[in-house]
């Protein structure tokens, strides 16, 4: 079984966001990068499927800068068999990124393509169903757990206030959310083995973006709390303010 895991490198969740001088991008100064947390769930899901079946080849692929190699080495250390870095600039236009990834993922002849549900930098929650549709693969999003039953996948989806089970035929694509796939830590053996695994790096042309960020700013600073008081005795005053000056009740 060919499993492709599509991953992105993103700023750590601790990052203090500052706008760069151009006025529309992130100031990279002092930013630490990590694998998008949802993509770690996707990789973990791929590793478990291979363990359960006792066969399967896992390819980790990303579109990004040279420095994304480190993330891919991490994926190899965790257990992926090979990795591909498509060197290019992933802008804010998800459809351009999808079109750049399309021929590369297609060429791998995947039985299963796994995405993270969303990236924590662009927060688009888009690439999975978009690229799956371009690949003409059936797709389920926001999957927290799944199993393979013969030629089908059975997936648990987490949607507003409900969970549902969906079934779709292989080959297929899924976007993975938090659930059954807490990522493992790579073992020392895994880290050593990763050094010998293939990591292809090649340039890719990302089509020009048709959606552009023209401005980025920080949300207005909040003033900080007015302390109403201590303990339950402060409650009547809180309620009075919420009904009165705040007008929210």
Ligand X SMILES: Cc1cc2nc3c(=O)[nH]c(=O)nc-3n(C[C@H](O)[C@H](O)[C@H](O)COP(=O)(O)OP(=O)(O)OC[C@H]3O[C@@H](n4cnc5c(N)ncnc54)[C@H](O)[C@@H]3O)c2cc1C
The residue among 13 and 133 lying less far from ligand X, judged by its C-beta, is 13
Considering only 11, 37, 56, 138, the residue that binds ligand X (CB under 6 A) is 37
**Closest residue to ligand AMP, based on beta-carbon distance:** 116
Are 33 and 71 spatial neighbours (Cβ–Cβ below 8 Å)?
Answer: yes
Residue from 59, 112, 141, 143 binding another protein (CB under 8 A)? 141
- Cβ atoms of 86 and 101 within 8 Å: the answer is yes
Mention every residue, 6+ apart, whose C-beta is less than 8 A from residue 237. 228, 229
Q: Which residue, chain included where needed, has tokens 């796939």?
A: 181
**Could you tell me how far CA 164 lies from the centroid of its own chain?**
21
Nearer residue to ligand AMP within complex by CB, 88 or 171: 88
Q: How many CB atoms lie within 10 A of CB 202?
A: 10
Write out the binding residues for another protein, residues 63-122 only, by CB under 8 A. 92-96, 98, 120-122
Q: Of 131, 25, 11, whose CA–CA distance to 68 is shortest? A: 11
- Among another protein, ligand AMP, ligand X, none, residue 71 binds (CB under 5-8 Å by kind): none
Binding ligand AMP by CB under 6 A: which of 43, 47, 59, 64? 64
Q: Are 6 and 61 in contact (CB under 8 A)?
A: yes
Residue 15's beta-bridge partner residues? none
Pick the closer one to ligand X by CB: 126 or 177. 177
Q: Closest CB to ligand X among 11 and 138?
A: 11
Among 104, 108, 124, 199, binds another protein (CB under 8 A): 124
| Options 1, 2, 11, 111; binder of another protein; rule CB under 8 A | 11
Residue 192 binds which entry of ligand AMP, ligand X, another protein, none, CB below 5-8 Å type-dependent: none
Residue 91 as a binder of ligand AMP (CB under 6 A): the answer is: no
Which residue's CB is nearer to ligand X, number 150 or number 232? 232
First to last CA, the chain: 56
Tokens 């549900």 locate to 117
């Amino acid at each position: 079984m060919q499993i492709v895991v599509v991953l992105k490198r993103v700023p750590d969740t601790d990052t203090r966001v500052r706008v760069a001088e151009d006025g529309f991008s992130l100031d990279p100064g002092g930013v630490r990068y990590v694998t998008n947390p949802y993509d770690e769930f996707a990789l973990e899901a791929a590793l478990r499927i291979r363990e359960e079946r006792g066969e399967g080849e896992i390819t980790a692929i990303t579109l990004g800068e040279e420095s994304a190699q480190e993330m891919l080495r991490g994926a190899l250390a965790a257990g992926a068999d090979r990795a591909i870095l498509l060197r290019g600039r992933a802008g804010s236009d998800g459809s351009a990124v999808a079109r750049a990834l399309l021929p590369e993922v297609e060429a791998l002849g995947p039985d299963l393509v796994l995405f993270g549900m969303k990236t924590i930098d662009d927060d688009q929650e888009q690439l999975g169903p978009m690229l799956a549709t371009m690949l003409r693969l059936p797709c389920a999003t926001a999957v927290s757990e799944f199993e393979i039953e013969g030629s089908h996948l059975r997936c648990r989806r987490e949607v507003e206030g409900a969970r549902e089970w969906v079934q779709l035929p292989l080959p297929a694509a899924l976007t993975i959310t938090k659930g059954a796939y807490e990522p493992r830590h790579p073992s020392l053996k895994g880290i050593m083995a990763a050094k010998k695994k293939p990591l292809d790096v090649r340039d890719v042309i990302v089509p020009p973006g048709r959606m552009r960020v023209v401005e980025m700013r920080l949300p207005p600073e909040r003033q900080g709390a007015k302390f109403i008081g201590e303990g339950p005795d402060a409650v009547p005053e809180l309620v009075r303010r919420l009904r009165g000056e705040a007008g929210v009740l």
